[in-house]
Amino acid sequence: MTTAAPAPDATSVRTVQPWWRDAVVYQVYLRSFADSDGDGVGDLPGLTARLDHLVRLGVDGIWLNPCYPSPGADHGYDVADYTTVDAQYGGLPAFETFLAEAHRHGLKVLMDVVPNHCSAEHPWFAEAVAAEPGSPARDRFVFRDGRGPHGELPPNNWMSVFGGPAWTRVADGQWYLHSFDSSQPDFDWRRPEVAEHFENVLRLWFDRGVDGFRIDVAHMLFKRDGLPDWPDPAAYNAYQQNQPEVHEIYRRWRALADAYDRDLTLVGEIHVPSVADLADYLRPDELPQAFYFDLLAQGWDASGFAASIDRGLAQIAGAGATITWTLANHDVHRTVSRYGLVERDPAALVIPTRQRGRIDTALGEARARAALLLLLGLPGSVYLYQGEELGLPEWLDLPDELRQDPTWFRSGRAEHGRDGCRIPLPWTTGSPAFGFSTTPETWLPQPDWFARYAAENQWAQPDSTLRLHAEALRVRRELRGALPDALDWLTTGRTDVLAYRRGRLTCVVVFGDEPFSVPGEWGSFVCASAEPHADGTMPGPSAAWLLG
Ligand code: GLC
Ligand code: MG
């Protein structure tokens, strides 16, 4: 006699680990992924048509940078309408097709929500500018009178993250706050209407079937009451961000997400002074996830990497939350160029993750490949930025007249900005646009040397960086659920070699150039970022996984 298995209910589903805890999510910078309609800008049908790349790579999900209607002053981070999809990306129908296709392949889909600010072209801001000072329409934003006898000076000394003052004046003399570009007015999160608007936005997209959100500058929503001057406006401004009131918002968002009968995630982009501050956002009733930028900020140095991993494990994993590791995104130089920087240009501005200078790309690629295995072996979830799987270097020499990042303009052309990591992907070696588009006129041009990194060729080469990614992700999948959350460091006898063990898996990373002889009892090689030498030693720099 057979009995039917009991139907799973919401409670039994929740006893399983949520998918996002150890998921590998691929970040799609849509404008630069694949263009289907020949306008030189990547779009949703282009992404849908190339989903096989991601399926073959073996990721679990996709995070889409903002694709809402936007004038594009900050390429989508200036949102004019949170409820639909920009026509240049294919509009809502193209999104729905993409979502269904991604789900059919078992891929989760995360949107990007931008709650700190909107576009100056959002109807609310247009209404605010047209309304009287002190009106409810203005109160949704941060409008203030200026200082000085005629109000001609900004209300306080705060700076925009992109450079220059954080205030812009409107025709009637009032000023509005923008923590980023002047086309990105900050909302006043002390207004219940603003909070309500974003809860509706989350529900709308969850109801459409998305699996989560990445939250743009999640730590910035609230500003210190009274907007006081900050002693050193060029340094981290503790009045402009990370205010205690923000945590209540994420408690509400978490409750909203948890009310659905499927596991949804919220991943904060949070830049705060310490890992302890970050852990506060990951309390059990707050955000499920937040990027661990502490590791991304480390230079190529074994002790710095180990100390950063330990900080995360002690303060985030130790507090019961999961760690969300990442080494790259659309705001920082690509790993090959960061780790391959052999001589820094002293004249260039020092933003630690966007240093300029002479790059040894072969060295950088060897180190980035090693870093990948280090990252994918760690307990927690991992975010990979598009193009990293191809080992793309930053395009540092993009001609200045073609730069588009508002950072470049607002810094008086001193800080080169982020265009160099946003170049359209090379799919083939052919023209036009290396398979990215049917036009050579792409929104940002591609350098000729992109041909060397074409995905099609890398799929055909067993030792390519792309194949290393696919192989590491395959092994990681096989081990899924079988490894403990904790890790132990092993003694390597060398300060430039790290080794950690999680259950059966041992990950060895040689940071320096000297070969390393792996003790036999650590297990046998299952994946390596570089071929071992004839004598069986690991070359430097490289990483390997062993199974015991
Ligand atoms: C975040 C985004 C960045 C954007 C900024 C303003 O840092 O990652 O690309 O420019 O917020 O929205
Ligand atoms: Mg297009």
Ligand 1 center to 459 CA (angstroms):
32
76-123: pLDDT as tens digits: 999 999 999 999 999 999 999 999 999 999 999 999 999 999 999 999
Percent helix, strand and coil across the chain, each to the nearest 5? 35, 15, 50
CA distance linking residue 332 with residue 27, whole number of Å: 13
pLDDT at 12: 41
3-class SS at 500? strand
- Tell me which residue has its CA closest to atom 5 in ligand 1: 77
3-class SS at 546? strand
pLDDT surpasses 50 at 6:
no
Ligand 1 center to 75 CA (angstroms):
9
Answer whether CATH 3.90.800.10 is correct for domain 123-177. Answer: no
Dihedral sign (CA 191, 193, 194, 195): positive
Share of the chain above pLDDT 70, in %: 97
pLDDT at 234: 85
CA 376 from centroid of its chain's CA atoms = 16
CA distance linking residue 542 with residue 374, whole number of Å: 10
- Tell me which residue has its CA closest to atom 4 in ligand 1: 77
What are the extents of the domains in the chain?
A: 2-118+191-468, 123-177, 484-547
User: For tokens 């870093």, what's the residue?
Assistant: 371
pLDDT surpasses 50 at 5:
no
CA distance linking residue 354 with residue 485, whole number of Å: 32
Ligand 2 center to 79 CA (angstroms):
19
Burial, 137: exposed, middle or buried (Cβ in 10 Å; 0-12, 13-18, 19+)?
middle
Residue 21 phi/psi, 5-degree rounding, is -55, -40
CATH superfamily of 2-118+191-468: Glycosidases (3.20.20.80)
pLDDT surpasses 70 at 7:
no
Residue 215 phi/psi, 5-degree rounding, is -105, 115
Dihedral sign (CA 353, 357, 362, 363): negative
Over its C-alpha atoms, the chain yields an Rg (Å, rounded) of 24
Nearest ligand, measured from the Cα of 47:
2
Ligand 2 center to 67 CA (angstroms):
12
3-class SS at 215? strand
Tokens matching residue 92: 């809502």
The ligand 1 atom nearest the CA atom of 74 = 10
pLDDT at 406: 96
Class of domain 484-547: mainly beta
Nearest ligand, measured from the Cα of 424:
2
The ligand 1 atom nearest the CA atom of 181 = 6
pLDDT at 295: 98
Give the residues surrounding ligand 1 with Cβ less than 6 Å away: 74, 77, 114, 180, 216-217, 269, 330-331
∠ CA 71-72-74, rounded to 5°: 130
Contact criterion met (CB below 8 Å) for 427 and 489: no
Nearest ligand, measured from the Cα of 405:
1
Q: Give the mean model confidence (pLDDT) for residues 274-292.
A: 98
Nearest-CA neighbor of 122 among 77, 155, 92?
77
Nearest-CA neighbor of 68 among 127, 124, 128, 118?
118
Nearest ligand, measured from the Cα of 218:
1
Q: Give the mean model confidence (pLDDT) for residues 472-490.
A: 96
Bridge partner list, 144: 175
The ligand 1 atom nearest the CA atom of 162 = 10
Ligand 2 center to 217 CA (angstroms):
27
Burial, 522: exposed, middle or buried (Cβ in 10 Å; 0-12, 13-18, 19+)?
middle
pLDDT at 201: 99
Q: 156-187: buried (b, 16+ CB within 10 Å) or exposed (e) per residue? A: bbbbbbbbebbbbbeeeebbbbbbbbbbbbbb
The distance in angstroms from the start CA to the end CA of the chain is 43
179-201: pLDDT as tens digits: 999 999 999 999 999 999 999 99
DSSP 489: E
The model's pTM is 0.96
DSSP 262: S
Ligand 1 center to 17 CA (angstroms):
31
